Structure 1
Amino acid sequence: MSASSEKPNIVVVGGSFVGSKAAELIGAEMYKTHRTILIERNTHFNNLFAFPRYAVVPKHEHRAFLPYTTMFAHLLPGAVSVHRGRVTEIQADRVVLEGEESIPYEYLVIATGTRLTPPGSMITDTKPEGIAYFQAHQQAVEKAQKIVIIGGGANGVQLATDIKDFYPDKSVTIVHPRPRLMHAFHPALHDIVSARCAELGIDVILNDRARIPPGGFPTDGSTFNVELASGKHIPADLAIMATGQTPNSAPLRPCCSPPLHCPIPLSDAEPSMRCC
């Protein structure tokens, strides 16, 4: 895209929930003076909040991926354009994509979000690859008899309850290193979730941490033990990781070195959000 475009660009990096809504609102208000460009690496919008269920319950996985082609159809033509690409670097006046393409901007919105351990998010970029991943995961869940969910946050709880609800005869265990399930939410939610787990017959182990093997847990359906920090061993034939989120801050690193040029002072940022 040329820097000599008729209108200056407002670039939104990341087309998930926040980024796509930001592009919609900005495009609706700024179309007269600016071009709004949404840059997204995936071919389709990923409905992340439903991913745990699609990883368990078959025949619905295609609904996890929504086309960007009609997302902004209700706006005036040209208000928002979607550009597929992966941003590798953010500079003072432009973003650089894989393949060394660059897109200039006057204003920039960074909505790169976070990465979750699959199946909480995808390691693929296209709808067919995502559907194939979910179908393979569904088959692994169907074949397994002793399933351990490592992590008792929102994703871990949804995975465990969906599995036990859909396959009541399977053994399902949640291992969580905190004293409460879904500890990032209101404390009272723990009691509600714990009661539902007990009702479904899900074993919950709190204040203990799983030891992750260097190469990960077996995925061939064989039986193995999940070792905990306490020394306890849990027999399993499938272990599903649900260990939280990591910020997608890699494109910010060039603009944060030296720290003087970082758009957010490092002293004001949470440690987990620091990009350098």
Structure 2
Amino acid sequence: MSTRSKQNVVIVGAGYAGLNAWLSLSNKLDVKKHNLVLINPRPYFTHFPAALRMATTAEGKLEDKILMPLIDSKYNTGNKKLIIASVTSIVEQGNEGGHLVLDNGEKVEYSILILATGMGWDGPLALPDTKAEAVGVVTSWREKFAQANDIVLVGGGSIGLELAGEIKDLSSTKNVTIVHSQSQLLNGTYPNSWRTYVGKQFASRGVKLVLGDYVDDLEIREGRIKTRSSKSIKADLVVPTRGGRPNTKFIESLGDVVSPSGTVRVTPTLHIVGHPRIFVAGDIIEWKEQKQAAKAPNHALVVVHNTLVLLGLSKKAAIPYKGSSELIIITNGKNGGAGFFDILWGISIGNWLSSLLKSKSLLVDMTQKSLQFA
């Protein structure tokens, strides 16, 4: 896609950050001067906070609610263009932009580029690019969880914990073991006292915790797996539930801008260091904060404002990203959970309020409305 009469503002990634930026820019760009191009490998948006429940049960038909289609009537109209493809490289051309090379051979010019490619996942969160294939994978996981009796989850962060809660909702008699590398669940962002509370809450449902240990080989042998410390655990299903990997491989084409962990080095104004026309938002930014969908609107606000400044559509100064408060709610099935809000003296919440705020609804309706799918 090449346009000489108009400048292309290109967003790569239709996740929480990318769609928040798209929604804001769609109302603020000059339609006579600018195109708004959205590139995503999938023709749908995934509401990941509900994906673990979707993978364990057919109840509620969540696949029809959280795999939200990117429809042409909204994203392919007027000065807006949706391209279903993956980016393989970025080619800069002077100080006025450059072009993207796609996996289908197409080249897409950009004046401003916003990268919001999110994370790649293992286990039940690893969904294919077509919705039909994604539903097939979900159905397969449901069958695995239904048939398994001794399930080992490798990773005791939010994914492992929330999946454990969903499995216990599926059947309280299933044996669930979480193996986590740290001496307490989650990570040091949160107070040890609260992490201990979370552990006790899940243990009260019969979830076994193996802390300070690793599983290097996920293959089951003779009905068991072994940890790095040679602990033997009975298993008929092993599920990787570690954190995600930043989808940033193609960004390495810009040079030394990607950290060893895969995140992208950014300035306070959220453009890539040394590349003032390329902004980054969402989970892939190198920033000392937890990777959460709730932070995406704050990233998008900064990126959109600074894009408008760069395009000459705003006379205000560029603004920095100042970080976001650390807030987390871990679901424990539909009726339980634990939360911690790093405000004031640090506020923690238990089952009832966690269920009210997140566990029952998984924020599905709220997300549909905020991203204008409903």
Superposed pair shares fold, TM > 0.5:
yes
Contact 2:257 2:273 in 1 (8 A): no
Instruction: Normalising by structure 1, report the TM-score.
Output: 0.85
Out of 206, 212, 228, the residue aligned to residue 207 of structure 1 is 212
Structure 2 counterparts to residues 53-72 of structure 1, below 5 A: 53-59=53-59, 60=61, 61-69=63-71, 72=74
Deviation string 1:203-256 (CA, Å, 9 cap, x unpaired) is 0111111122xxx425xxx85212111111001000010111111111112111
Q: Where has structure 1 moved over 6 Å in runs of 4 or more?
A: none
Out of 95, 104, 111, the residue aligned to residue 99 of structure 1 is 104
Instruction: Normalising by structure 2, report the TM-score.
Output: 0.64
Partner of 1:34: 34
Deviation at 1:81, TM superposition (A): 2.6
Deviation at 1:112, TM superposition (A): 0.9
CA distance in 2, matches of 1:233, 1:107: 53
Partner of 2:154: 150
Instruction: Give the stretch that moved more between structures: 20-29 or 79-88.
Output: 79-88
CA distance in 2, matches of 1:57, 1:98: 35
Partner of 2:244: 245
Deviation at 1:120, TM superposition (A): 2.3
Deviation at 1:119, TM superposition (A): 1.3
Q: Aligned to 2:125, what secondary structure does the other structure show?
A: coil
Out of 181, 187, 195, the residue aligned to residue 177 of structure 1 is 181
Deviation at 1:14, TM superposition (A): 0.7
1:46 and 2:51 correspond: no
Q: 1:189 to 1:34 in 2, by over 3 A?
A: farther
1:85 and 2:90 correspond: no
CA distance in 2, matches of 1:71, 1:206: 50
Partner of 1:273: none
Deviation at 1:192, TM superposition (A): 3.5
CA distance in 2, matches of 1:152, 1:108: 35
Deviation string 1:58-111 (CA, Å, 9 cap, x unpaired) is 2423333101117947xx953533211111111110111012201101000011
1:13 and 2:12 correspond: yes
Counterpart amino acid of residue 150 in structure 2: K
Q: Aligned to 1:210, what secondary structure does the other structure show?
A: coil
CA distance in 2, matches of 1:246, 1:36: 27
**Aligned CA-pair RMSD:** 2.6
Structure 2 counterparts to residues 211-230 of structure 1, below 5 A: 211-212=216-217, 216-218=218-220, 224-230=223-229
CA distance in 1, matches of 2:188, 2:109: 38
Deviation at 1:182, TM superposition (A): 1.8
CA distance in 2, matches of 1:125, 1:241: 20
Q: Aligned to 1:66, what secondary structure does the other structure show?
A: strand
Deviation at 1:56, TM superposition (A): 0.8
Counterpart amino acid of residue 248 in structure 2: S
